[in-house]
Amino acid sequence: MPEEASHLDAITAHVEKHFGKVELVFHELISDELHIDVLIVAPRDERPCWTLVTSGMSEMPMNVPEGQTAPRRAELLMTLDPGWEMDQERWSDERHYWPIRQLKILARWPSRSGTFLAARHTTSDDPPKPYAEDTPFAALALLVPLDREARRLRAPNGEEIALYQVVPLHAEELADARAGEGDLEDVFDEEELRWIWNERPSLSSSAARSHFFRGQLYVRIATALLVTGFAIDLASCYADGVRLPFSRACFGGVLVFYVLDARRLARWISVGLVAIGAIAGVVVLLQQGFATWRLIGLAASLPLWIAALALLVLPRDVGIWFEGFRLARERDREGQRAES
């Protein structure tokens, strides 16, 4: 056991150097050929997520084929949303415990299968199925940690130990990875994307495109509804022999500009403007009724405004569309800075 203890000391020191103080060690009570503990670091300001690191996997060297550069010894890292249930009493529910279960299963897999694990390896059931109820994740990928200095540590005997980050995947993301569509290291290039949080949308190229273009369609429909509403207002004003008020025309132009501006702030500004316009229309109708064509036109356009408001607020795809344009703008700016 002295070698095992020395590995634990080295792993604990490495974890506390790069991720924070180990608050809890989830000790394994019954073990087979490997004793796998899980070191747990609580969320803090500098790293606002739960950090889990195995200790024990590296006690048995992996069977790395000749020609492969992966170290023979490794441990696993996993990060969870800061709101994840980490009370051990709640772990009787698989919805809360599955990350730890899968971490332990994966840590034992090289010794049981006589093979090895390395960066960009993926694993899942065949066919992939969610690990627990209410979770969208059906596969796991091994990536190198974003912090370069955290990727390797040394055992007391000088042998190198790799630290691989376990990232959950949607079934679509797994299919993309196995089809060679995009590098997982590039897809999961931000720490928050590597957290386990059930609300994370699929980053699959096909799924992302689907969400993006569906959001684009919703925004265009909302724009068409608003333009139609203003056309009804204009026609009803013409029927009454009056001009559409200048302030209302400006309001419509500003609103459509914000809807199509494709910025996150623009989305919520446009939502606020639509809501103000709809409420103002309801107030006018309650006060004046349907005495003129202009008021009748206002009554006809109100459902269009409300439908546009719902399209801008409710679908998650609309948010993905706005976010996609924000990221595209940032890439364009970075490209321009690099050229200059």
Q: Which residue in this structure is represented by tokens 């103000």?
A: 276
Q: How confident is the model at residue 15 (pLDDT cuts 50, 70, 90)?
A: very high
Mean pLDDT on 287-299: 81
What is the rounded distance in angstroms from the CA atom of residue 99 to the CA atom of residue 219?
A: 37
Compute the chain's Rg from CA coordinates: 28
Q: How far is CA 63 from CA 57, 66, 165, in A?
A: 13, 9, 20
Is 331 a residue whose pLDDT tops 60?
no
Task: Write out pLDDT tens, residues 159-214.
Answer: 999 999 999 999 989 998 888 877 898 888 888 889 998 878 787 776 666 777 78
What is the rounded distance in angstroms from the CA atom of residue 48 to the CA atom of residue 14?
A: 19
Task: Write out pLDDT tens, residues 41-59.
Answer: 999 988 999 999 999 999 9
- How much is the pLDDT for 95? 92
Is 230 a residue whose pLDDT tops 50?
yes
Tokens of 10: 């080295």
E strands, 42-118, are 50-55, 73-80
What is the rounded distance in angstroms from the CA atom of residue 7 to the CA atom of residue 12?
A: 8
Burial of 201-231, coded b for 16+ CB within 10 Å and e otherwise, reads ebbbbebbeebbebbbebbeebbebbbebbe
| Cis preceding-peptide flag for 127 (omega within 30 of 0) | yes
**pTM, rounded to two decimals:** 0.64
Mean pLDDT on 86-108: 91
- How much is the pLDDT for 4? 45
What is the rounded distance in angstroms from the CA atom of residue 330 to the CA atom of residue 317?
A: 20
What is the rounded distance in angstroms from the CA atom of residue 94 to the CA atom of residue 110?
A: 24
Task: Write out pLDDT tens, residues 145-165.
Answer: 999 999 999 988 889 999 999
What is the rounded distance in angstroms from the CA atom of residue 20 to the CA atom of residue 290?
A: 67
Mean pLDDT on 29-35: 77
| Domain spans, the chain | 2-203, 207-319
Q: What is the DSSP string of 125-194?
A: -SS---SSTT----EEEEE--SSGGGSEEE-TTS-EEEEEEEEEE-HHHHHHHHTT-S-HHHHT-SHHHH
Residue 142 β-bridge partners? 166
What is the rounded distance in angstroms from the CA atom of residue 265 to the CA atom of residue 167?
A: 31
Contact predicate 64/72, CB 8 Å: yes
CA 205 to chain centre: 14
